[in-house]
Structure 1
Amino acid sequence: MQILLVEDSEADAFLTQAAFETLSLPPQFTVCADGLFAIEHLQGLLREQQPLPDLLLVDINMPRMDGFELIAYLKANEDLRHLPVLVFSTSSAPQDVRRSYEAHASSYICKPVAYPDYDRVVQAVEAFWMNTARLPT
Structure 2
Amino acid sequence: MNNRHILWADDDIDDLMLMRHVLHDLGDDYNISEVHNGQEALDYLKAAKEKDDLPCLIILDMNMPILDGKETLAKLKKDEELKVIPVVFFTTSSSQMDKLYCKRNGVEMITKPPQYANLKEAVQRLVKFCVR
Fold in common (TM above 0.5)? yes
* Superposition CA RMSD, Å: 1.6
Question: 1:50-97 deviations in whole A, cap 9, x for unaligned?
Answer: 310000111010001000011111011112110100110011111011
Assess if the C-alpha contact under 8 Å between 1:35 and 1:66 holds in 2: yes
Question: 1:92-115 deviations in whole A, cap 9, x for unaligned?
Answer: 11101111232332x111111232
How many residues end up aligned between the 2 structures?
129
Identity across the alignment (%)? 29
Distance between the aligned counterparts of 1:24 and 1:16, measured in 2? 12
Given residue 58 of structure 1, which amino acid in structure 2 is its aligned partner?
Answer: L
Partner residue, 2:129: 129
Deviating beyond 4 angstroms after TM superposition, the runs of 4 or more aligned structure 1 residues are none
Partner residue, 1:119: 120
Return closer, same or farther for 1:123/1:104 CA change in 2, 3 Å cut-off. Answer: closer
What is the TM-score normalised by the length of structure 2?
A: 0.89
Select the residue among 61, 64, 67 that pairs with 1:65.
67
Q: Counterparts in 2 of 1:97-116, with a 5 A limit?
A: 97-105=99-107, 107-116=108-117
Structure 1 unmatched runs, 5+: none
Assess if the C-alpha contact under 8 Å between 2:88 and 2:126 holds in 1: no
Distance between the aligned counterparts of 2:26 and 2:117, measured in 1? 14
What is the TM-score normalised by the length of structure 1?
A: 0.86
Q: Give the structure with the larger strand fraction.
A: 2
Structure 2 unmatched runs, 5+: none
Matched residue of 2:42: which SS?
Answer: helix
Structure having greater relative contact order (Cα 8 Å, sep ≥ 6): 2
